[in-house]
């Protein structure tokens, strides 16, 4: 089974702090993704990566950055946390496979509160 592990289930930080969210997958997947999920807004894509050291902006990249130094690890960074970044953050990975690739598999999420 695919396993996507997010380092923290719950995290509380203060405004202005630099926050790191870590994600590791164990299936040698090429693609990795960061989403945030808010009530009534669904899943929104922040950043994604198709390969090591490669990153692409999603729909809502403002206030975030990412790092992918190793294939299995994808980090999301909140440069200066703000209260409107309080949310559930979900990491996902997928294989390129053949053709258009395979479906995404998700971690259990990090519920981040910014005070």
Partner 1 sequence: QKEVEQDPGPLSVPEGAIVSLNCTYSNSAFQYFMWYRQYSRKGPELLMYTYSSGNKEDGRFTAQVDKSSKYISLFIRDSQPSDSATYLCAMRGGSYIPTFGRGTSLIVHP
The residues that touch partner 1, with contacts defined as CB under 8 A, are: 4, 6, 31, 33, 40-43, 45, 48, 50, 58, 90, 94, 96, 100-109, 111
State in angstroms the smallest separation of the CB of 62 from partner 1: 18
State in angstroms the smallest separation of the CB of 92 from partner 1: 8
State in angstroms the smallest separation of the CB of 50 from partner 1: 7
**How do beta strands 56-57 and 42-49 pair?**
antiparallel
Q: Is 9:109 a contact under the CB 8 Å cutoff?
A: yes
Q: Considering beta carbons, is residue 41 or 115 the nearer one to partner 1?
A: 41
Q: Where do we find the tokens 């053709």?
A: 99
Q: Considering beta carbons, is residue 51 or 79 the nearer one to partner 1?
A: 51
State in angstroms the smallest separation of the CB of 59 from partner 1: 10
Here the tokens at position 13 are: 């930080």
DSSP codes of every residue in 23-74: EEESS--SEEEEEEEETTTEEEEEEEESSTT--EE-S--TTEEEEEEETTEE
């Amino acid at each position: 089974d695919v396993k996507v592990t997010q380092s923290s289930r719950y995290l509380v930080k203060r405004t202005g702090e630099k926050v790191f969210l870590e994600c590791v997958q164990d299936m040698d997947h090429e693609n990795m993704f960061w989403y945030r999920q808010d009530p009534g807004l669904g899943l929104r894509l922040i950043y994604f990566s198709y390969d090591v050291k490669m990153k692409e902006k999603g729909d809502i990249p403002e206030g975030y950055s990412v790092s992918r130094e190793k294939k299995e690890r994808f980090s999301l960074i909140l440069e200066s946390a703000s209260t409107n970044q309080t949310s559930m953050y979900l990491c996902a990975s997928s294989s390129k496979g053949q053709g258009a690739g395979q479906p995404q598999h998700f971690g259990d999420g990090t519920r981040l509160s910014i005070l």
